[in-house]
């Protein structure tokens, strides 16, 4: 059996190694148009910033090491230009020599990946406008920085690569601006959770120009002007386009394979395309979203590697199935960690789901042990069924392990309240006896049995200030004095029982505190004394972060609370 693989990075390299482990006699040929195989896309920004100092560390294997270990014929600088299903051949061009030839196959795996999205904007091809996707791109940017010592950079786009590159360029001492059309960075997060990411970026000197459309580029004064719609241009010494990626599916299209979302290659759960004996894996393929079941394109390294293994299994006579992509991801944002899994509240609503959520701010480990840091968690679930839909966490320690627990719970189909029953490891330096994941479960269990009723940040502008409801802030007098929401009166929770006569019965009470814990206790006191009480989801810390972020986006200036 002869297997030809187009693309030698995540999915393609994984498939090649797996086929060899299953079939010692198979002939395996991999064509990779770049000069590198099995390289770490996710590590590219960190080489530019100097966290990774040796370019060779970016490549997990070389053609030589891959051949020595697996006897796979890895041909770099070879571009497959056409697929001929009727003849079961591919046309190949040797980019080093210009030679063109055809290669036969019994089984073909397409792993072409994705290419940077490059809108047809005036000036997009000028020398100081870069993209970052391959090792060659990385070396080109690194060389430009070393030779020209640019003092400023503008990044168009606000996804993973842009944020990682912004941090690394800032570490080099450059002034960095991120500009993009959406009014938030990192679309896998809801806007309220992205506010914490925005705050960390601004804290480290990154300028955010959100909600603005890039219309082109012009070389000017030794650098580049980024032209914005209805705004003055931005000027930088260099520009990097990081506005996302597009499935690189032109080979599949020309060969007559069925295409789907965003031009991606349609495959079944065995990674088979619409044409017999042709498989496809990685960033170029359409997958089912594990939570919604909708057709999606999810460009992440983990799914690509799993898909490569599944295609290899099936080529070698097995029956492996891909269950779908859940979108679990994590990113370092300076000192912060941000992670997500499943779908966010925004996309859940777009999918027509009736959703609810809990927002909490637990410590990363036991409060009495030194060094604990607050994290913010948002867990989304379906109202009627209490099916877990997704989670987002931002914080400084312990974020990654909590998101992995939640990702596992979603994959296993646990109901929301079952999170309270998980037996998770505890020691004071690492967690609390009630782990943050357990705490989220307690809250959802309280919602299910009516012990917890919530109100949300979207409700605040519509809360009446005419006395028909009671607005109550249960923080200390000092906390209240440092900032509060207009119309909220202050009764600290520890004084509430003695001051219940100050609250008029028969009116709903909307309660807030700093994190949501004291206001929950207050709401239970109120409910136990005949009041109808609603607890604010997230607390004043959450409210303050989100509202200030919105003001900075809309007005480019912070907004203050009532004092």
Q: What are the residue numbers of the active site?
A: 42
Structure tokens belonging to residue 147: 């030779």
Structure tokens belonging to residue 238: 């260099």
Pairing of the two strands 234-236 and 100-104: unpaired
Q: Residues of 35-47 as b/e, b for ≥16 C-beta within 10 angstroms?
A: bbbbbbbebbbbb
Residue 344 DSSP SS3: coil
Gap between the Cα atoms of 36 and 133, Å rounded: 12
Sign (positive/negative) of CA torsion 521, 525, 528, 530? negative
Residue 529 DSSP SS3: coil
Structure tokens belonging to residue 136: 């060659």
Residues 6+ apart with CB under 8 A from 188: 327, 329, 340, 344, 392
Residues 6+ apart with CB under 8 A from 171: 49, 50, 51
**Secondary structure letter of residue 562 according to DSSP:** B
* Beta carbons within 10 angstroms of residue 560's beta carbon: 11
Residues 6+ apart with CB under 8 A from 495: none
Question: What separation in angstroms does the CA of 370 have from each of 143, 259, 366?
Answer: 44, 54, 8
Residue whose tokens read 């972060």: 545
Question: What separation in angstroms does the CA of 511 have from each of 326, 357, 501, 531?
Answer: 35, 17, 16, 12
């Amino acid at each position: 059996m002869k297997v030809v693989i187009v693309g030698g990075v995540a999915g393609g390299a994984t498939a090649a190694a797996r086929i060899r482990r299953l079939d010692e006699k198979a002939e395996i040929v991999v064509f990779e148009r770049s000069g590198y195989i099995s390289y770490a896309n996710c590590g590219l920004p960190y080489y530019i910033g100097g966290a990774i100092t040796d370019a060779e560390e970016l490549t997990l294997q070389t053609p030589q090491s891959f051949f020595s270990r697996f006897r796979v014929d890895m041909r770099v600088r070879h571009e497959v230009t056409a697929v001929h299903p009727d003849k079961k051949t591919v046309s190949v061009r040797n980019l080093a020599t210009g030679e063109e030839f055809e290669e036969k196959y019994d089984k073909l795996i397409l792993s072409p990946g994705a290419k940077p999205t490059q809108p047809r904007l005036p000036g997009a091809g000028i020398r100081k406008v870069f993209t970052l996707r391959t090792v060659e791109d990385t070396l080109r940017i690194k060389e430009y920085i070393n030779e020209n010592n640019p003092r400023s950079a503008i990044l168009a786009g606000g996804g993973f690569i842009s944020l990682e590159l912004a941090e690394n360029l800032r570490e080099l001492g450059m002034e960095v601006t991120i500009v993009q059309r959406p009014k938030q960075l990192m679309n896998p997060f809801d806007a309220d959770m992205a506010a914490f990411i925005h705050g960390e970026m601004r804290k480290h000197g990154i300028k955010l120009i959100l909600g603005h459309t890039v219309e082109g580029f012009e070389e000017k004064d030794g650098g580049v002007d980024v032209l914005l719609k209805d705004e003055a241009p931005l000027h930088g010494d260099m520009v990097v386009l990081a506005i996302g990626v597009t499935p690189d599916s032109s080979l599949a299209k020309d060969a007559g394979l069925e295409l789907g979302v965003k031009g991606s290659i349609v495959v079944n759960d065995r990674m088979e395309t619409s044409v017999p004996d042709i498989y496809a894996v990685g960033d170029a393929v359409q997958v089912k979203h594990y939570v919604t079941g909708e057709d999606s394109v999810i460009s992440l390294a983990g799914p690509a590697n799993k898909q490569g293994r599944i295609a290899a299994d099936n080529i070698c006579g097995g029956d492996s199935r891909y269950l779908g992509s859940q979108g679990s991801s994590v990113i370092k944002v300076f000192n912060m960690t941000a992670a997500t899994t499943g779908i966010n509240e925004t996309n859940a609503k777009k999918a027509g789901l009736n959703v609810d959520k809990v927002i909490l701010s637990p410590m990363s480990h036991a409060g009495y042990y030194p060094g604990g840091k607050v994290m913010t968690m948002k867990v989304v679930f379906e109202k009627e069924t209490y099916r877990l839909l997704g989670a987002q966490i931002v914080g400084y320690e312990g974020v990654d392990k909590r998101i992995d627990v939640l990702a596992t719970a979603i994959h296993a189909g646990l109901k929301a309240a079952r999170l309270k029953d998980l037996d998770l490891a505890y020691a004071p330096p690492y967690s609390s006896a009630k782990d943050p994941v357990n705490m989220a479960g307690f809250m959802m269990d309280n919602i299910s049995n009516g012990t917890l009723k919530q109100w949300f940040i979207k409700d605040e502008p519509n809360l009446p200030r005419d006395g028909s409801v009671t607005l109550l802030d249960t923080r200390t007098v000092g906390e209240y004095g440092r900032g509060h929401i207009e119309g909220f009166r202050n009764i600290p929770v520890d004084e509430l029982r003695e001051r219940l006569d100050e609250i008029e019965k028969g009116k709903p009470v909307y309660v807030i505190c700093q994190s949501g814990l004291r206001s929950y206790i207050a709401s239970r006191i109120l409910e136990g004394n005949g009041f109808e009480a609603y607890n604010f989801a997230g607390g004043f810390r959450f409210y303050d972060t989100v509202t200030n972020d919105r003001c900075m986006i809309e007005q480019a200036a912070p907004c203050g609370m009532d004092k």
